[in-house]
Structure 1
Amino acid sequence: MAETFGFCTRLGATGDIKQRVWENDFGDGYAQSGGTGINTKSQEWSHQAVGSLDVGQELRLMRDFLDRHEGWRSFLWTPPGGTQGRYKVNGYKLDPQGAEMFKISFTMKQVFTPY
Structure 2
Amino acid sequence: MPYAMVLTTKIRQGVSRTSKQRIRQAVFGDGYSQEVPDGINAQMDVRQNVGWDSLTAAEVGTARAMLDAVGSTDYISWTPPGESVEKRWKVTNEGYTETYTGTLTNITFNLREVP
TM-score (normalizing by structure 2): 0.74
Q: Which residue does the alignment assign to 2:70?
A: 69
Q: Aligned pairs, how many? A: 108
Give 1:102 shift: 1.1
Give 1:31 shift: 6.0
User: What is the Cα-based RMSD across aligned positions, in Å?
Assistant: 2.4
Per-residue CA deviations over 1:86-115 (Å, capped at 9, x if unaligned) read 1111410001112x1111110011123xxx
- Secondary structure of the equivalent of 2:69? helix
Q: Which residue does the alignment assign to 1:60?
A: 61
More strand by share: 2
Q: Which residue does the alignment assign to 2:53?
A: 50
- Secondary structure of the equivalent of 1:93? strand
Q: Is the counterpart of residue 33 in structure 1 residue 35 in structure 2?
A: yes
Q: Which runs of 5+ in 1 are unaligned?
A: none
Q: Which 4+ residue blocks in structure 1 deviate beyond 4 angstroms?
A: 23-28
Q: Which runs of 5+ in 2 are unaligned?
A: none
Q: Structure 2 CA distance, aligned partners of 1:2 and 1:48?
A: 18
Give 1:22 shift: 3.6
Q: Structure 1 CA distance, aligned partners of 2:72 and 2:24?
A: 29
Q: Structure 2 CA distance, aligned partners of 1:54 and 1:71?
A: 24
What letter corresponds to residue 111 of structure 2 in structure 1?
A: M
Give 1:20 shift: 1.4
Identity across the alignment (%): 28
What letter corresponds to residue 39 of structure 2 in structure 1?
A: G
- Paired residues of 1:52 and 1:60 also in contact (CA < 8 A): no
More helix by share: 2
1:95 to 96, 99, 108: 99
What letter corresponds to residue 78 of structure 2 in structure 1?
A: W
- Secondary structure of the equivalent of 2:12? coil
- Report which structure shows greater RCO (CA 8 Å, sep ≥6): 2
